[in-house]
Amino acid sequence: MLLDPKKRIPIRDYHPDERDEIRRAYIQRGPHQPRIREFPQSDLFGLKRRFNRKWFKKYHDWLEYSVAEDAAYCLCCYLFQDESIHQGGGETFSSIGFRSWHKKKRLDTHIGKSNSVHNQAKKKCEDLMRQEQSIQAAFVKLSNQTKLEHKIRLKASIEVARLLLNQGLAFKWTS
C-alpha cells in the first residue's frame, strides 16, 4: 500500500476481487497528510503560493497531499473513481493532482452539493466500512433453518429461469 497519492496504482488496475479489501485498508489508514514544516512554494502569476496545512483540518476526512508531486488529492475519489469522475473536477483530485493554491474555493467546489461525485464516493467509503450491512454479514446471522429455506427458494428460482430459457419464453414478474 503506497502512501503518496501520486505513486499509487489506480484502483481500477487492481483485480476486482481485491478492490474492496484494498479500499478498506486505505480508509482505515486515512488520507495521507504528511507533517511537513513548510510546503514548497510555487510561482503562480508572479506570486509565491503553497499548500496550506490548515486545509488538512478543514478537509480532514478526504484531503491528501503528495510530497512527490506537490499536489493535493481526494482519497474518496481515488478509491471510487469511475466514468463519472470527470464531473466536478474529480479527475484532478483523483489522478492529476490539484495545485491551484491560490484558488482554495476549488476545494469546496470539489465537494459540491449533496449528490456530487465526491459525496457519492464519500458515501461509498462509509458504506464499505459498515460491514454489518453487507449481505454476507446478514446471511451469517440467519438461523440454519432460514438459510435452508433461502437456498430452496433460490434453487427453485434458478430451475424456473432454466426452464424459461430452454423453452425460449420471456420472464414476467407479477406481484
**Residue (of 66, 92, 67) closest to 77 by Cα position:** 92
Instruction: Tell whether the model's pLDDT for residue 1 goes beyond 70.
Output: no
What does pLDDT average to over the chain? 87
What residue has cell string 478526504? Answer: 62
Q: Between 86 and 68, whose confidence is greater?
A: 68
Q: Which residues contact 129 (CB under 8 A, 6 or more apart)?
A: 24, 27, 28
Look at residue 88 and tell me whether its pLDDT is greater than 60. no
Stretch 144-148: mean pLDDT, rounded? 85
Q: What's the pLDDT score for residue 132?
A: 66
- Phi, psi dihedral angles at 74 (to 5 degrees): -115, 120
Q: State percent of the chain over pLDDT 90.
A: 59
What is the reported pTM? 0.71
Region at 168 (left for phi over 0; alpha for psi -120 to 50; beta for the rest): left
Model pLDDT, residue 138: 66
pLDDT band at 91 (very low <50, low <70, confident <90, very high): confident
**Tens-place pLDDT, residues 8-32:** 998 889 999 999 999 999 999 999 9
Contacts of 70 (CB under 8 A, 6+ apart): 39, 40, 42, 51, 99
